[in-house]
Amino acid sequence: MDFGRITIDDELVMYMFGTPGQARFWFMWDDLVRGAVGAVVVVDCRRLADSFDAVDYFETNKRIPYIVALNRFEGQLDYTAEQVREALEVSPEVPIIDFDARQRQSGGEVLKALLRYALEHNRASEPVA
């Protein structure tokens, strides 16, 4: 398991946990998502089948907003975002973005996209007064 911490400012700190995507690790996921703002499923387009379990977990567990991040290898993707959405059966409202995990700025863009989506998701799920 991986762990990271990013200090945004004096009052905002983001903690990140990375786990393997296979279903046999779901026992950890239930504890890790408790209190989570959201999740990122990182997809290796060369091995789409390895992402089924993680996508299924978050599709089933609708209380956690998640996005899908397609990791570029050698600067390219093997599939379009829509092909991946269809293959992994990702809901239409879930953002799918591409990035390069080797580039810090690209990873930062993924986290920004997650935070934007999580804020929208949480606003949409608030009861109307």
Asked if residue 30 is part of any domain, the answer here is: no
Asked if residue 5 is part of any domain, the answer here is: no
Asked if residue 24 is part of any domain, the answer here is: no
Give per-residue pLDDT as tens, 15-52: 888 887 777 877 888 888 888 889 999 998 888 888 99
Asked if residue 95 is part of any domain, the answer here is: yes
Percent of the chain with pLDDT over 90: 39
According to the model, what pLDDT value does residue 127 have? 58
Give per-residue pLDDT as tens, 84-118: 999 999 999 999 999 998 888 999 899 999 999 99
Give per-residue pLDDT as tens, 51-76: 998 999 899 877 899 999 999 877 67
- Contact call for residues 31 and 25 (beta carbons, < 8 A): no
Asked if residue 97 is part of any domain, the answer here is: yes
Total domains in the fold of the chain:
1
- Contact call for residues 72 and 100 (beta carbons, < 8 A): yes
- Residue from 32, 36, 40, 29 nearest 108 by CA: 40
Asked if residue 36 is part of any domain, the answer here is: no
- Interior angle at CA 70, CA 123 and CA 96, nearest 5: 30
According to the model, what pLDDT value does residue 128 have? 53
Give per-residue pLDDT as tens, 110-124: 999 999 999 888 777
State pTM to two decimals. 0.86
Asked if residue 102 is part of any domain, the answer here is: yes
- Residue from 7, 102, 4, 90 nearest 41 by CA: 90
Q: Can you give the residue range of the structural domain that contains 53? A: 47-129
Asked if residue 20 is part of any domain, the answer here is: no
- Contact call for residues 90 and 68 (beta carbons, < 8 A): yes
